[in-house]
Structure 1
Amino acid sequence: MPRSESRSDSRHDSGHDSRYDVLTFGEAMALFVADDDGPLDQVTRFHRRTAGADTNVAIGLSRLGFGVRWLSRVGADHNGTFLQRALEAEGLDCRHVQRDDTHATGLVFKARAVDGADPHVEYVRRGSAASHLSIADGRDVELESARHLHATGIPPAISDSARELSFHLLRQARSAGVSVSFDPNLRPSLWPNETVMIETLNALAAESDIVMPGLSEGRLLTGRDTAHDIAGHYLDRGAKVVVIKLGPEGSYFRTADSEGTVDGSPVKQVVDTVGAGDGFAVGIVSAYLDGLDWRAALHRGNLIGARQVQVIGDMEGLPSREELIAMERSGDAI
């Protein structure tokens, strides 16, 4: 892994040529979380928050002190205004967020999680502003000024034009010598069919340095069964490291010359599983940028993922740098 570098001051610097740490892109949605138990059709009170795997990672990295730029489209509506204000309040640089006068901001409604079970979620995102992302939205991005690009498999699933943007940004990053991490984040319902999903996500993984699927995702995408063989599939196609999430059992990594498994972090009570994988990604990417070795990176990813499942909300458990230091010293996710 690279040596640790000083984090940039770009989160507070709007200069044209300023250096920054991370670019992320995708769809931010207004999340309406039920206040009360029960089916969504019976709930009358909700809290509005932010949602989106890509924004969760962006927020998590910003809380750890990294300069993060966010690229997206939101509607010229109150939900779009809410999202941009919320993300800027988290320290994100939103210079690459476009306001769309024609298409609405995507929405997601989530039932209240009960007894640690996955909560029921319903999306209102078809034809959203973010689904109209295209290569044109990435035209002014200064990737050569970034240290890292983080991508997921969600933007390429929401539209053909957003898929083109995904390939464009990953290839631009590689051309500029910028490291790339990729989390497949499978959303089968967003894809036209499974074949297109598998082919597209594997092609994007081939443009990435760090590939981090879950075990079940890796099995579907590669046709291999073990974490070792799944990792080998992506290493053979150009990845420098493959990190595989194993759920409560922890995580596994493999590079060209090393591999290992790091046990999961104990969880006192599972409250809401949404966002656990995003928390894990925050741990891996932040550790990479901090110059830690892969075992330490997996330990950090496991810690943050475990912390995230113990709170309500998609990103409320993502720690500050001070909280992370305390967690790593104690070995406790909370």
Structure 2
Amino acid sequence: MVPKLICVGECMVELAEVGDGTYRRGFAGDTFNAAWYARQALPGDWAVEYASCIGVDAVSDQMAAFMAGEGVGTDALRRVEGRTVGLYMISTEGGERSFAYWRGQAAAKLLADDPDWLRGVLGQGAHVHFSGITLAILAPDARARFLDVLRDVRGQGVGVSFDTNVRPRLWEDAEVTRAAMMAAAGVSDLVLPSFDEEEALFGDADSAATVARYASAGAGSVVVKNGAAPMLGWDGGETVEVPVVPVARVVDTTAAGDSFAGAFLGARLTGAGLRDAMERAAAVSARVIGAPGALVR
């Protein structure tokens, strides 16, 4: 069988500013972005698929067609009557981005409402990738069901990775967020945090403290991104520090971490060592932040 990477979460309509109050429509979302970049990094004998819920409407059809056109499989999309897909708008200033969201009727919020469907879909993967945003958009009981499904498929031999991607405005409070991050790490083989978010949420003193905390939760590998500072990676037997790739001008940091995740997974799933995978992923991320939008060709 063809090995399959399945990224699971929410893809949204993206409105990216192109100047003079004009916006370009696209489709993006953190784990879909990771799937898109993984598709670029993985050889043709790997499949990449996106698992989510979308609506039964024109924009949902267009999103699914876009995914398929980009080489990301859509068999794991579940259609939900009466729902649609979310929308977000990017504003940038000095290369840093801010977002406005509209996701009240987003079908992806129902992702874990049918755990049997979800278990069947994710169990078909060689590896499953999810994020903190995937968790945050779910109601607390659905969040628990989602993690139970991941625990089940991991027990069947499916690899699991988790990009923490902390967005405080999506969460009930910091205590709930901390508990969810640690629970997610406990069902994951790989955790991909960003130090600034971990410092703010957990009070970590440095990247080594972040690695140690997620390792204590059960993660087998941790790679901590740290802005312009060196990244710290640990995989149980090796600890490496890797500098980021210098960027002449930061245009838009949208998908910096998502592209890193996709490229890193593409490298690791095809046998790259920890340092090599981190260096490849850092190079992709540097290219992405030098251009506008989430998906940079």
TM-score, length-scaled by structure 2: 0.92
Offset of 1:155 from its aligned partner?
1.6
Paired residues of 1:77 and 1:105 also in contact (CA < 8 A):
no
Paired residues of 2:188 and 2:219 also in contact (CA < 8 A):
yes
Question: How far apart are the structure 2 equivalents of 1:165 and 1:311?
Answer: 38
Q: 2:126 aligned to 133, 147, 171, which one?
A: 147
What residue identity is the alignment partner of 1:63? Answer: Q
* Partner SS for 1:93: coil
The CA RMSD over aligned residues, in Å, is 1.8
Question: How far apart are the structure 1 equivalents of 2:267 and 2:284?
Answer: 12
Paired residues of 2:85 and 2:105 also in contact (CA < 8 A):
no
Runs of at least 5 residues in structure 2 that lack an aligned partner in the other structure: none
Question: How far apart are the structure 1 equivalents of 2:166 and 2:145?
Answer: 18
1:205 match? 185
1:13 match? none
TM-score, length-scaled by structure 1: 0.82
Question: How far apart are the structure 1 equivalents of 2:221 and 2:98?
Answer: 34
Runs of at least 5 residues in structure 1 that lack an aligned partner in the other structure: 1-17, 38-42, 318-334
1:119 match? 97
- Higher mean alpha-carbon deviation, 161-170 vs 28-37, is at 161-170
- Runs (4+) of structure 1 exceeding 6 A deviation are none
2:6 match? 23
1:302 match? 282
Q: How does 1:130-169 map to 2 (within 5 A)?
A: 130-136=108-114, 137-141=117-121, 143=123, 145-160=124-139, 162-169=142-149
* Partner SS for 2:241: strand
Q: 2:157 aligned to 138, 155, 177, which one?
A: 177
Q: How does 1:205-224 map to 2 (within 5 A)?
A: 205-224=185-204
* Partner SS for 2:59: helix
- Higher mean alpha-carbon deviation, 229-238 vs 217-226, is at 217-226
Offset of 1:282 from its aligned partner?
1.4
Offset of 1:165 from its aligned partner?
4.6
- Higher mean alpha-carbon deviation, 274-283 vs 167-176, is at 167-176
Pick closer, same or farther for the CA change 1:32–1:244 going to 2, 3 Å.
Answer: same
Question: How far apart are the structure 1 equivalents of 2:176 and 2:122?
Answer: 30
Which one has the largest radius of gyration? 1
1:55 match? 32
* Partner SS for 1:236: helix
- Residue 189 (structure 1) aligned with residue 181 (structure 2): no
Q: How does 1:1-334 map to 2 (within 5 A)?
A: 18-37=1-20, 43=21, 45-64=22-41, 65=43, 66-111=46-91, 113-116=92-95, 118-136=96-114, 137-141=117-121, 143=123, 145-160=124-139, 162-317=142-297
